[in-house]
Structure 1
Amino acid sequence: MKTAREIRITERDMAQLRKFIEDVAWDDPRKRSELKDLEAELDRAVLVDDDHVPDDVITMHSEARLVDVETGEEMVCKLVFPDEADIAQMRISVLAPIGTAMLGYRVGDHFEWKVPAGNRTLLVKEILYQPENSRGA
């Protein structure tokens, strides 16, 4: 799904995502595949303290500007839990292939997003909002 670049996940996001994986029903084959993909990403992630996460990392509830490397098309999306997802508002579920793919990447990183026609390579251009670095602002 992604290149093998290092990804960073906050302790809080890791705990919430692990709990989500534990609590969700695994009986749907499609969901099972998505959960396994997310679990694999969590297993390879570098854990960072919530108060010391760099402000250029995509964490849960971050809003990021992404650029399709091939077409130059830009999109702004927010990474959310499945029950908060709304494609019309570009609130992308962490279980969606693009959501799992973008989690933990930094500004300047490229990642692959699997689509029916193959793979798209996206660039993390900018973090517009990251909850960990907006506290007290």
Structure 2
Amino acid sequence: MEQSSACCDPPLLIGDGSEVVLRDIARAAMSRLPDVAERLLGEVERAEIVAESDVPADVVRIGSFVTYQVQFTGAINTIRLVPPNEADERKLRVSVLSKIGTALIGLRQGQQIKWELGDRQHVVDVLRVCAAL
């Protein structure tokens, strides 16, 4: 299943410095994780790019703590979105190259997105975003 169509996707906001980092991460992963890398590049392409200093605190970016809910299951999770080399599931540090990481990047608190998680399409709601817990 593919990500939802562009007409229905929520707007994304990414800082200019983060844009460079995300593109580098996606390009580096293209040979081993092409589907996720392409999705991440697609999300960066459709995002509004602004100065890092203009990104509000409630926007998901690398380093953010994010509480989200998957509507189908009702599960609520809190993670920290990190670069792939810092991912550690035991510490709830989730890579931006994971399906949920790619789904969340650039969203704001209160937004939702339809995204493939596991073997089906789900609606993911961003409940809270903060720089530190």
User: Do they superpose with TM above 0.5?
Assistant: yes
Moved over 6 A (4+): none
Q: Name whichever of 61-70 and 41-50 sits farther off.
A: 61-70
Q: In angstroms, what is the RMSD of aligned CA positions? A: 1.7
> 1:73 corresponds to which residue?
75
2:86 is the alignment partner of 1:84: yes
Q: Per the alignment, in what secondary structure is the counterpart of residue 12 of structure 1?
A: helix
- TM-score w.r.t. the length of structure 2 is 0.85
Query: How far apart, in 1, do the equivalents of 2:91 and 2:111 lie?
Result: 24
> 2:63 corresponds to which residue?
61
Q: Per the alignment, in what secondary structure is the counterpart of residue 22 of structure 2?
A: helix
Gaps of 5+ in 2: none
Question: Aligned pair in 2 of structure 1 residues 39, 121: CA closer, same or farther (>3 Å)?
Answer: same
Aligned length: 127
> 1:10 corresponds to which residue?
15
Task: Summarize deviations over 1:11-68 as a string: whole Å, max 9, x none.
Answer: 111011222334x25433xx11211111111110100211111111101110011122
Question: Aligned pair in 2 of structure 1 residues 26, 66: CA closer, same or farther (>3 Å)?
Answer: closer
Question: Aligned pair in 2 of structure 1 residues 54, 71: CA closer, same or farther (>3 Å)?
Answer: same
How far is the alpha carbon of 1:122 from its aligned partner? Answer: 1.5
2:126 is the alignment partner of 1:129: no
Query: How far apart, in 1, do the equivalents of 2:29 and 2:39 lie?
Result: 15
